[in-house]
Amino acid sequence: MSETYQCVVAKGEVEVSYYSRMLNRHGLIAGATGTGKTISLKVLAESFSDHGIPVFMSDIKGDLASIAVTGSMNPKMEERLSMLGINDFSFNGYPTRLWDIFGELGHPVRTTISDMGPLLIARLLNLNDTQSGVLNIAFKIADDQGLLLIDLKDLRLLLNYIGEHAADYTIEYGSISKQTVGTILRGLLSLDSQGAEMFFGEPALDIMDFIKTDNDGRGYINVLASEKLFQSPNLYSTFLLWLLSELFEVLPEVGDVDKPKLVFFFDEAHLLFTDAPRVLLDKIEQVVRLIRSKGVGVFFVTQNPIDIPDKVLGQLGNRVQHALRAYTPREQTAIKAAAGTFRPNPKLDVASTLGELKTGEALISFLDSDGRPSIVQRAFVFPPHSIIGTLQPQQRIELIQESPFDSKYNRMIDRESAYELLTKRMKQEDMEEQRTLQQKTTASARSTSRQTSSRRRTASSPLNKAAQSMFNTVGRQLGRELVRGVLGSLLK
């Protein structure tokens, strides 16, 4: 059975520590560029791993995967350790799994179109309300007709089919405009160009593969390669939100636990909320509020606390605030807002201190054992036990090949889904249409043949022959008389 523990991660006038049972109350790591957010993230991740807590984090700058490699002493490290009075510091590497939705720098991460759902797909495509409505109709039709949506080609063909048969679905599902369908299809082409084709497919990620410990009981640190992914901010933020939603859907309720099942670091968290529609913001707030009961802690990492909506910010009980810069009125407002979120310390002027903090130094407040915010402390975060820098290519390859997930996810599977079923249906419809056209053509030809035969029979009857003979005789007689008349007049 696990036990609650208290772990020191920083030191100022006093040591600053967190309680493991409070980690699912979520947290915030904030600060301007270059103030030490990445180091704080690594130190916390290492500490969690040491105590058997798996971690997920995205590696935007390429310097987090190195958490797998044992660190080494250098002059700056010696100076920091001496200043903190740490004499028994040891270096370690940590059990690490590497992931990459493009399958280049880690195990491929995939999901299906059906599993991601219309709400997140609509965010990926930046759809308006009308377009989102049509997309919801498409998903509803797929569900009703048993059409599994696995990859982008499934969704594209489904939308094409619905657009061509819009009149057949309008009464039951609502109005479907071909123009709207065309807009969504253009969005899918744009999404495809961002590399999303690699993300949608099978085998889909088993989210439980994130929640593993090694033979020594240390939690695995799952690092998502995000340098390339981050070039498409909308895809990046939606993907991480999908991961959170998947954890929320899959994990059972556990209530308050001695330590979380997983801690999820959401780096560059402001992208999650930028231009997000109200329905999506409500979804995010719900997931953050309720996922703690699933034993998951979420730490948002961003430059400025005001990047996080108040309803979400209010749920982040553990805070590491690095320096903020006040060059603009907005930044000055941000400093005042950040200072107001801490439990006051009589010895600190929090607002002025936020602009004075050195690199690696932060204002820190973790929840105490009773779940109350502790008095804010100014402290230096401990240095990491792993190397500071990037993972070498050969080291990355070895980590991937040694993982049991290499064979599980490295090959994509394309089973029968909406694309194959709709293709068969469309071929059958084409055959039926050709058969109907052929039947109409045959019937028309038979009708024409009957009319022609009728005319021929009428022309060959005895009465018609007698009448025709009479007309011919009269015609010849009139012709001779006319000719004689004309010639006679000419000879006179």
Pair of tokens at residue 101: 């939705």
**In the predicted model, is pLDDT for residue 455 greater than 70?**
no
Same domain as 484, residue 366: no
Is 4 contained in some domain? no
User: What angle, rounded to 10 degrees, do the helices at 129-144 and 113-125 form?
Assistant: 170
Is 6 contained in some domain? no
Q: Do 46 and 383 meet the contact criterion of CB atoms below 8 Å apart?
A: no
Q: Do 309 and 275 meet the contact criterion of CB atoms below 8 Å apart?
A: no
Whole-number pLDDT of residue 489: 45
Same domain as 138, residue 30: no
Same domain as 260, residue 127: no
Largest CA distance in the chain: 151
Same domain as 362, residue 272: yes
pLDDT in tens, 462-481: 545 554 555 455 455 544 55
Same domain as 444, residue 308: no
Q: What is the CATH number of the domain that holds 371?
A: 3.40.50.300
CB-based contacts of 164, cutoff 8 Å, min separation 6: none
Where is the domain boundary, 370, 395, 426? 426
Is 18 contained in some domain? no
Is 2 contained in some domain? no
Same domain as 183, residue 211: no
Whole-number pLDDT of residue 459: 53
Is 33 contained in some domain? yes
For residue 326, what are the domain limits?
Answer: 23-110+207-408
pLDDT in tens, 197-222: 889 999 999 999 999 999 999 999 99
Q: Do 155 and 149 meet the contact criterion of CB atoms below 8 Å apart?
A: yes
Is 7 contained in some domain? no
**In the predicted model, is pLDDT for residue 15 greater than 50?**
yes
CA distances from 172 to 130, 137, 140, 230, 469 (A): 17, 10, 11, 41, 69
CB-based contacts of 60, cutoff 8 Å, min separation 6: 226, 227, 230, 267, 268
Whole-number pLDDT of residue 420: 95
Same domain as 373, residue 323: yes
The CA distance from 277 to 273, in Å, is 9
DSSP-based three-state secondary structure for 88 = coil
The CA distance from 111 to 206, in Å, is 9
Is 301 contained in some domain? yes
CA distances from 23 to 26, 43, 44 (A): 6, 15, 11
Same domain as 69, residue 124: no
pLDDT, the chain, mean: 89
Burial 90-121 (b: 16+ CB within 10 A, else e): eeebbbbbbbbbebebbbbbbbbbbbbbbbbb
Same domain as 118, residue 92: no
Is 16 contained in some domain? no
Backbone angles phi, psi at 183, to 5 degrees: -65, -45
DSSP-based three-state secondary structure for 99 = strand
Domain count, the chain: 3
The CA distance from 334 to 351, in Å, is 10
Same domain as 382, residue 370: yes
Same domain as 186, residue 242: no
% of the chain residues with pLDDT over 70 = 90
> Could you tell me the pTM of the whole model?
0.85
Phi and psi based region of residue 146 (left: phi greater than 0; alpha: psi -120 to 50; beta: remaining): left
**In the predicted model, is pLDDT for residue 151 greater than 50?**
yes
Whole-number pLDDT of residue 440: 84
Q: Do 39 and 29 meet the contact criterion of CB atoms below 8 Å apart?
A: no
Same domain as 470, residue 398: no
**In the predicted model, is pLDDT for residue 102 greater than 70?**
yes
